Amino acid sequence: MARAAQSNKWSLQGMTALVTEDFLYQISTNLESAYHLCQLDHPLLKSSGYGSIVFISSAAGVVSCSVGSIYGATKGAICQLARSLACE
Protein backbone atom coordinates (compact mmCIF):
# COMPACT_ATOMS: atom_id res chain seq x y z
CA MET A 1 0.00 0.00 0.00
CA ALA A 2 2.83 2.41 0.77
CA ARG A 3 4.22 1.87 -2.71
CA ALA A 4 0.85 2.56 -4.33
CA ALA A 5 0.61 5.82 -2.41
CA GLN A 6 3.96 6.88 -3.87
CA SER A 7 3.08 6.03 -7.48
CA ASN A 8 2.22 9.63 -8.37
CA LYS A 9 5.62 10.77 -7.14
CA TRP A 10 7.32 8.39 -9.55
CA SER A 11 5.01 8.95 -12.46
CA LEU A 12 5.41 12.73 -12.45
CA GLN A 13 9.20 12.65 -12.60
CA GLY A 14 10.96 13.23 -15.87
CA MET A 15 12.15 10.37 -18.04
CA THR A 16 15.76 10.49 -16.87
CA ALA A 17 14.77 10.32 -13.18
CA LEU A 18 12.94 6.99 -13.51
CA VAL A 19 14.64 3.65 -13.05
CA THR A 20 13.49 0.40 -14.65
CA GLU A 21 11.61 -0.65 -11.51
CA ASP A 22 9.55 2.57 -11.59
CA PHE A 23 8.77 2.07 -15.29
CA LEU A 24 7.64 -1.52 -14.77
CA TYR A 25 5.56 -0.54 -11.75
CA GLN A 26 3.67 2.09 -13.75
CA ILE A 27 3.04 -0.33 -16.62
CA SER A 28 1.86 -3.02 -14.21
CA THR A 29 -0.36 -0.72 -12.16
CA ASN A 30 -1.89 1.40 -14.90
CA LEU A 31 -2.10 -0.98 -17.86
CA GLU A 32 -1.44 -4.64 -17.09
CA SER A 33 -3.97 -4.83 -14.28
CA ALA A 34 -6.76 -3.44 -16.48
CA TYR A 35 -5.80 -5.68 -19.38
CA HIS A 36 -5.75 -8.87 -17.33
CA LEU A 37 -9.07 -8.08 -15.66
CA CYS A 38 -10.58 -7.55 -19.11
CA GLN A 39 -9.19 -10.89 -20.25
CA LEU A 40 -11.17 -12.52 -17.45
CA ASP A 41 -14.36 -10.49 -17.94
CA HIS A 42 -14.55 -10.28 -21.73
CA PRO A 43 -15.74 -13.85 -22.44
CA LEU A 44 -18.43 -13.58 -19.76
CA LEU A 45 -19.72 -10.26 -21.05
CA LYS A 46 -19.67 -11.47 -24.65
CA SER A 47 -21.58 -14.67 -23.85
CA SER A 48 -24.18 -12.77 -21.83
CA GLY A 49 -24.93 -10.50 -24.78
CA TYR A 50 -24.61 -7.29 -22.80
CA GLY A 51 -22.45 -5.52 -20.28
CA SER A 52 -19.88 -2.78 -20.16
CA ILE A 53 -16.27 -2.31 -19.24
CA VAL A 54 -15.52 1.16 -17.91
CA PHE A 55 -11.99 2.53 -17.74
CA ILE A 56 -10.91 5.60 -15.82
CA SER A 57 -7.91 7.25 -17.41
CA SER A 58 -6.52 10.77 -17.34
CA ALA A 59 -6.21 13.84 -19.52
CA ALA A 60 -2.50 12.97 -19.57
CA GLY A 61 -3.45 10.09 -21.85
CA VAL A 62 -4.69 12.39 -24.60
CA VAL A 63 -2.62 15.57 -24.26
CA SER A 64 1.12 15.88 -23.76
CA CYS A 65 2.61 17.16 -20.52
CA SER A 66 6.07 18.42 -19.67
CA VAL A 67 6.61 15.66 -17.08
CA GLY A 68 5.23 12.21 -16.44
CA SER A 69 5.95 10.58 -19.79
CA ILE A 70 5.39 7.05 -18.52
CA TYR A 71 2.19 8.07 -16.73
CA GLY A 72 0.85 9.65 -19.92
CA ALA A 73 1.91 6.67 -21.99
CA THR A 74 0.10 4.20 -19.72
CA LYS A 75 -3.04 6.33 -19.61
CA GLY A 76 -2.96 6.69 -23.39
CA ALA A 77 -2.65 2.92 -23.61
CA ILE A 78 -5.79 2.57 -21.49
CA CYS A 79 -7.68 4.80 -23.94
CA GLN A 80 -6.49 2.68 -26.86
CA LEU A 81 -7.32 -0.54 -25.01
CA ALA A 82 -10.90 0.70 -24.60
CA ARG A 83 -11.18 1.47 -28.32
CA SER A 84 -9.70 -1.88 -29.31
CA LEU A 85 -11.92 -3.88 -26.96
CA ALA A 86 -14.98 -2.08 -28.34
CA CYS A 87 -14.09 -3.54 -31.75
CA GLU A 88 -13.73 -7.05 -30.35
Per the residue annotation, which of 25, 35, 50, 71 is the catalytic one? 71
Q: How far apart are CA 61 and CA 80, in angstroms?
A: 9
50 a catalytic residue = no
Contacts 24+ apart (CB under 8 A), 20-23: 22/70, 23/70
Q: 34: helix, coil or strand?
A: helix
Catalytic residues: 71
